[in-house]
Amino acid sequence: MKFLFVMDPVEGIDITKDSTFVFLAEAQSRGHENFYCGIEDLIAGSNGLAANTCTIEVNHTQDSHWAFGERAMRDCNDFDCIFMRKDPPFDSDFFFATHLLSLVDDRKVFMFNRPAALREASEKMFIMRYPDLIAPTIVSSDSAQILSFCDEVGGDIVVKPLDGCAGAGIFRVRHGDLNNRSILETITENGLHQVMAQKFLAASRQGDMRLIVIDGEPMGAMARVPRDDDLRGNIHVGGSCIAAQIGKREREIVAAVAPALDELGIYFSGFDIIGDCLTEVNVTSPTGVQEINTLSNVKLEADVIDMVERKVAALPGT
C-alpha cells in the first residue's frame, strides 16, 4: 500500500515521543511505501488535489532518523491512505488544508482522520454534546458571567482558550483572587473571544488521563501528573506520565462518544479524562502513543496500522 503522511517537518520531531514517527516505522516494517509532505505542499487545480511529495524511510537514530527519496508531484487519489498528522494549533492554514484534503475521493482513499471531521470535532467544544459526561462547564466571552459561574460551582474554576493546545493559556480562577478580572480580560481579550470555563476538579492533581481510542475502542491509557508548582499536567510543560488502567467509567465514556466520532470519520482520537469527567476529545494529531507503549508494554502503532489496512481493504472504490 501507499501511505501519504501530511505532517510537520520530520527533521524536527523527537523520535522517542512522536506518535507519527512510530506510525511511519510500523507501516515501513510491513512493506508499505511511505510518502511525506507538509500542508504547504498541497496543490488543488482542475484535476483535483495533488501534493509535492517525496518517499521517506525512517530509522531509530535521532537527528538522522529520516531519508528522503524522489520528490515529485503526485495525485492524492493514488494513495491508499492519507494520514493528516499536522500538529496543532488549528489555525487558518490547518483549516484550509482540511478543505484541500476534502477534495480527495474517500471512496478510493482512506482518510485518517476525515478532513471535514477535523473541522467539525473541535477539541474543546465537542464535549459540550455530552453534558452528562463532563464537569459543570460554560463557554462565554463575558467576564461577569464567568465569575458568576465560578461562584455557582463553589468558587474554583479553570478557564482556557477554545483554540489552545499543549496547556497554553490555561488559568485557575478562584473566588476572591484579585487577579481574576485581569485574567479574564486577558484571556477573552476584553470580551472579544469565547473561552471555556470548567469547575476545577481536585482529581486533576493526581493526573488527567490520556485515553487512546482506535476505531471506537479504548486501546491504551496513561495519567499525566502535574508538577507541584504547575496547574497543568501536559507533557510539554513538565507533567510526568504514569500507567493508567482503563476502567468501567472510561469505557462508558467511550461507548457514549465513539458512535458520533465514527459517523464523522474520526478513527484515531485521544480522550482526556479527569476523575469521572471527560474534559477534551483530541482529534488534531493526538499524541501519547509512545508513552503508553512504554508504560503498558503495548504497541499501539500496530493496532493503528492494522485498522488502516482493514479500512483500505473495505473501501468501495478499491
Peptide bond into 113 cis (omega under 30): yes
Q: Which residues have CB under 8 Å from 203's CB, separation 6+?
A: 274, 275
The three cell numbers of residue 175 are 473566588
Residue 239 phi/psi, 5-degree rounding, is -65, 150
Distance CA 176, CA 24 (A): 51
Distance CA 192, CA 273 (A): 29
Distance CA 44, CA 127 (A): 33
Residues known to be catalytic: 124, 160, 210, 224, 232, 272, 280, 282
Residue 89 DSSP code: P
Residue located via cell numbers 473495505: 314
Residue 152 DSSP code: H
